[in-house]
Every structure is written in C-alpha cells, then in structure tokens.
Structure 1
Amino acid sequence: MGRGLCGGEVTQAEVCQQCGAVLRGAGMLRSAVDIQPACLGLYCGRVVLAVNGSVEFYGDCGVCPRGQRTDDNKICRECVGSPERYDWLYLGFMAMLPLVLHWFFIEWYSGKKSSSALLQHITALFECSIAAIVTLLVSDPAGSLHIRSCKVKKLSDWYTMLYNPSPDYITTVHCTHEAVYPLYTIVFIYYAFCLVLMMLLRPFLVKKIACGLGKSDRFKSIYAALYFFPVLTVLQAVGGGLLYYAFPYIILVLSLVTLAVYLSASEVESFRDLLVRKKRLVVLFSHWLLHAYGIISIPKLDNLEQDLPLLALVPAPAIFYLMTAKYTEPSRILSEGGNGH
C-alpha cells in the first residue's frame, strides 16, 4: 500500500501504473526537445536563424558573421556596444604611426636643403586626418563618426584563427572571425585610405614646391612611405593584439629615447639653448604631447579626471635631462679623468 499522486491510498499495482505513466511522459518530453551537440572551440558559435517570441532557433555550430561574436552560451550576438576610451586611444596610436613616420622621412630627406618641409608636414597631417574621417564614415554605422564594436576581453580575442577546434583530430572547424570588431580591420582600412590620398596629393605638391631638392631626392619621402606602409600592415596583422596592450609603454619609451637623442644631437644643455631656435621648442612640445598621450593611456579608466594629476609628470624627463646634462658632458668626463691620473 502507498499514497498516490493525489494523496489517496493506492495499491502497489496502481503505484507502478502511475510511475510508468510519468516515465512515458518524460520520454515523450525528451524526444520533443531538440538536443543539439556541444559547440566546441573557444570562438565557435551558433547563428540565430529566427526568433518566435521568446524562442530562438539556432543554426549549426560554426563561424559567426562579421560584426558578431559569441556570448557565454556559444550564441553569435551582434556587436552593439561603443569603443571604450582605451580602444579610442589605441586607434589613435595606430593612426599616429604613419603620420609620425611621414614627418620623420620628410624631415630626413628635406633637412636644411629645402624650405618646403613645413608644407609637406601640413600635407601629411591633412592626408592622415581625412583618411581617419573617411574610415569612420564608411564603418558601421555608415555615415556617422561613431562606430559599434565588441568588447575586448582577452588577448586571444585578437587571434581567433589559432583556436579552430579539431573534434576528431582530422577535420578542422574553421571559426575564425573578428571577435574584436572592428578594432582589427579598421586599421587596415585607414592605412589604405592614407596610401591612396598620399599618392593623389603628395606627388603634385612635392613637384611644385620642392625646388630646393634634386629630382631624385624630392620624392624620397614618398618612396619611404611605400616601404613603411606594408611594414605597418604586417605589424597590425601579426602583432595587433600585443600592440593593443603594450602601446602606452611603447609611446613612453620611444618618446623618452627620441627626446634624449634629439637633445644630445642638438647639443642642448640648458633652458637657454632651447630658446635659441623655435624648432627645438616645437620638438620638445611634440614629445610632451606624446608623453601625455602615453600617461593617459596606461590606466584603463573611463574617468579622465582621475588621470589628469598624472600629467604633472610630463615635463619631468626633459627637466631632469637639462639639469644633469652638464655633469655628463663627454669632454668634461675625459678631462676630469685625465686630471685624476
């Protein structure tokens, strides 16, 4: 004897009949549910094919379309967020690289031979600025300076091609997609526009204004760009994720080294030496801007007011160099060493 589902006393046979009915109902329910196999791979997901009210229907496990990435349930979701402040700073760093290289090679090949270097600098700035604006306009949503993006969670998000699963160790399921959309591909688009604008504008400008240079020298800055743009492209393709996490420190180290080299080569040993030529002040303030950019980029905070006190450290390296330059003069060290013997 026992109690039934409704609380009444039933016989053992009736209990077995009730258990059988429950088991048969559970079997029917189990057969009605579409149990899909697990979606393997770190970045493989299922595309949402249709939505019926609160019920979603998914496709097979595979690669997510462009502009989507997988969520915690291995479902491809559209990127609807906006880049964070750190993401914009990263894009700004990648946008500055060709501009700084343009300026370096323009100054390197023009030097004191031509008075057209300033106009070429301005033209390079114009090219990169227009390329950045056009890149934002053609990005999704088109026609707007705002872009939608997926959040970067970890370094592997930049290298999804390394995480394609092989369930049977023979067949590889290709799930490579841009999990950091659009931070990876937007840089290539920007470099393409920079190259096109340079080829359209710079040759005519150089031909008109670079009269102080020879025919073979006036286009060397353009030839240099044809070399460093492929290098920058490969750098982004291979090391985009590493640059994303390391660019603040790269800015600080390179700006400190280049500033020390420039002050040493220009034989600047005091504040008075800086005021002799305006070009030295321009170079100094340019490096200070890079210092500030790197310092602000290090803390990944959206509250800019918390980072502003750190900007007081910007002039510290230059002040330290000018205060200690007279003590590190090579001729003075050699003379003191000779007097010691």
Structure 2
Amino acid sequence: MQAVAVLPACLGLYCGRAVLAANGSAEIYGDCGVCPRGQKTDDHKICRPCTESPDRYDWLYLGFMALLPLVLHWFFIEWYSGKKSSSALFQHITALFECSVAAIVTLLVSDPVGSLCIRSCKVVMLSDWYTMLYNPSPDYITTIHCTHEAVYPLYTIVFIYYAFCLVLMMLLRPLLVKKIACGLGKSDRFKSIYAALYFFPILTVLQAVGGGLLYYAFPYIILVLSLVTLAVYMSASEVESFKDLLLRKKRLVVLFSHWLLHAYGIISISKLDKLEEDLPLLALVPTPALFYLMTAKYTEPSRILSEGANGH
C-alpha cells in the first residue's frame, strides 16, 4: 500500500495501473492506461480483478435481456403462424429451448468457465457502462484510451447470449418449420425466422448504445409494456368479461404470461429486500386485468356512440 501512495494519480475516471508483479505485500505497477478485461480500478486507481458475484438486481437485469428475444420469437411466431396452423406450439417450445440452451451455454463459457456462476464488478453509477466517453485528454490533443468493461460481464455477456441464440435458431428452427409447418404457404413458413434476423441486430444495437439506461429502467419498461400489450390484446380479442376469457385457453395463457411479466417488473423494482413489505405488492398483479374487465363494457365504442345519439 505504501507503493500506491507515492505513485502519481492517473488521469481520467477509469484509467488505472495494472499489477505487473506481486511479491508478498509489494506490488509492481504498470503505466496508467486501460485495465485488462475482468478488472476495474479501485480507489487508488489500481486495476483489481472482479471477484464479486452479481447481486439480485444484476440477475434480474440479465433475465430481462434474456427474455427479450424469447418474447419477440413468440410474438412473431404467433403473428405469422395463422389461426389454422398447428405448428405454432412446437415453434414456441423450440424457441424456449433455443433461448434456454443459449443462456446455459453463455453462463458455462463465462468466467469461471464450466460453472453456472459468474464473477462480476459492481455497478456503481451510470458512467460505468460508458467508459469510452471518459477517456482523458491531458493536453487536449492526445487522448489516453482507458475504455474497458467496468461492469464486467454485464455488458458483453448479453452479446454472447444473443450470438448463441442466433446460432441455435439457424440450426434448429428451419428444419422444424420445414417439417411441421404444413398449414402455411411456402412463403410464410420462415417469416418468423426472417423476423428474428431483423430483431437480433436491433437488440444488439440497443444493448450497445442503451445498455446502461436499460439497466436502470428495465423494471419500469416491463410494467408499462405489460400493461399496454395486455390492454391491446384484450381489446383486439374483444374480451369484455370473465366469460370471454374462459372461452379460449389461449386467452388465459396470454393473461397469465402478462401477469408473470408484471410480477417480474414489481420484483425488479422492489428487489425483495424486505420480504414482509415487498411480497404484498405482488397482490397488485391481477389489478390491471380486473380493472379492464370491470370497465370494458362502459368504454365500448358502439355503446358510447349509441348513447351519444340518444342524448341528441
């Protein structure tokens, strides 16, 4: 620690000195610069390995990023399968299998290799996600490049997961669709796969540019999207009562899926730090659906128009 005190301070927020050699308590440091992958600067601007485990919120964030391609797969499979096609269920299961295997393989190849646990650096502030914006320029001419993954591995592990998802989809889905999607025309069979070839690059850019923003905002994004999509689905399906829900099992599956997403958002916001205070919040999960069902008959456009005509 004495050697640290006499070293001149590194410029910039994320520049640090890598440990070149260590002999007991004495350490030899390199010049100020970028920290090696899997390391982050400490309070003394020394690069230290990330040895912590992701906390609950980090895992919830990774779960959200893992769910995005799965939900999009299911949406486009349902969108392009058609009402008479019996292949949708098999494609849904295949998409779930692809994403599950991709998640497991991603964890296995991450450090420590061969384990489902990962080591990480703690996220302290939003700038930790965008170290490339904090490279110092001492003389306003020369830039010292200190860009590294200060939130290791929360940033890059998502790209690895998306790559495995894409590879598994290209290996499994075309064979499945070709064999079982008999109810669809030749031009429609592979549209859900083509859609994935569009949304995977979009998700990759979204993570690259907005990963830090998503990290802090994803619980609220889940809540808003689950509410909006549930209302849109019920309106499009003309669900106006509990009887309408029970007529088709598919509607109940969609309803419970939205409830799970809503619960995920509530858990992500509360982090379940205080179980006795946070668990009762899960009772709010069915509230939006119940409110919609109780008020749908009063907001039906035809009824509003007829009452308006009668009023005149």
Normalising by structure 2, we get a TM-score of 0.97
Correspondences of 1:156-195 after superposition (within 5 Å)? 156-195=127-166
In the other structure, the counterpart of 1:340 is: 311
Aligned equivalents of 2:133, 2:218: Cα separation in 1 = 23
Specify whether residues 34 and 322 from structure 1 end up closer, same or farther in structure 2 by C-alpha distance, changes over 3 A only.
closer
Instruction: State the identity %.
Output: 90
Aligned equivalents of 2:303, 2:272: Cα separation in 1 = 46
In the other structure, the counterpart of 2:219 is: 248
Correspondences of 1:153-302 after superposition (within 5 Å)? 153-302=124-273
Specify whether residues 33 and 324 from structure 1 end up closer, same or farther in structure 2 by C-alpha distance, changes over 3 A only.
closer
In the other structure, the counterpart of 1:84 is: 55
Deviation at 1:299, TM superposition (A): 2.2
Aligned equivalents of 1:300, 1:34: Cα separation in 2 = 39
| Equivalent pair of 1:260/1:321 in contact (CA under 8 Å) | yes
Correspondences of 1:105-116 after superposition (within 5 Å)? 105-116=76-87
Deviation at 1:307, TM superposition (A): 2.2
Runs of 4+ in structure 1 over 6 Å off:
none
Q: Deviations over 1:193-228 (max 9, x none)?
A: 000000000000000000111111100000000000
In the other structure, the counterpart of 1:125 is: 96
Correspondences of 1:143-158 after superposition (within 5 Å)? 143-158=114-129
| Equivalent pair of 1:85/1:302 in contact (CA under 8 Å) | no
Specify whether residues 213 and 142 from structure 1 end up closer, same or farther in structure 2 by C-alpha distance, changes over 3 A only.
same
Deviation at 1:287, TM superposition (A): 0.2
Q: Deviations over 1:111-167 (max 9, x none)?
A: 213111000000000000000000000000000000000000000000000000001
| Equivalent pair of 2:9/2:45 in contact (CA under 8 Å) | no
Deviation at 1:304, TM superposition (A): 4.9
Amino acid at match of 2:206: L
In the other structure, the counterpart of 2:29 is: 58
Structure 1: segments with no counterpart, 5+ residues: 1-31
Amino acid at match of 1:315: P
**303-312 vs 107-116, greater mean Cα deviation:** 303-312
| Equivalent pair of 1:114/1:213 in contact (CA under 8 Å) | yes
CA RMSD of aligned residues (A): 1.4
Aligned equivalents of 2:284, 2:199: Cα separation in 1 = 32
Specify whether residues 175 and 33 from structure 1 end up closer, same or farther in structure 2 by C-alpha distance, changes over 3 A only.
closer
Aligned equivalents of 1:172, 1:303: Cα separation in 2 = 46
Amino acid at match of 1:46: R
**303-312 vs 66-75, greater mean Cα deviation:** 303-312
Aligned equivalents of 1:86, 1:253: Cα separation in 2 = 19
Specify whether residues 284 and 42 from structure 1 end up closer, same or farther in structure 2 by C-alpha distance, changes over 3 A only.
same
Question: Across the two proteins, how many residue pairs are aligned to each other?
Answer: 310
Aligned equivalents of 2:230, 2:240: Cα separation in 1 = 13
Normalising by structure 1, we get a TM-score of 0.89
Q: Deviations over 1:151-197 (max 9, x none)?
A: 00000000000000001111100000000000000000000000000
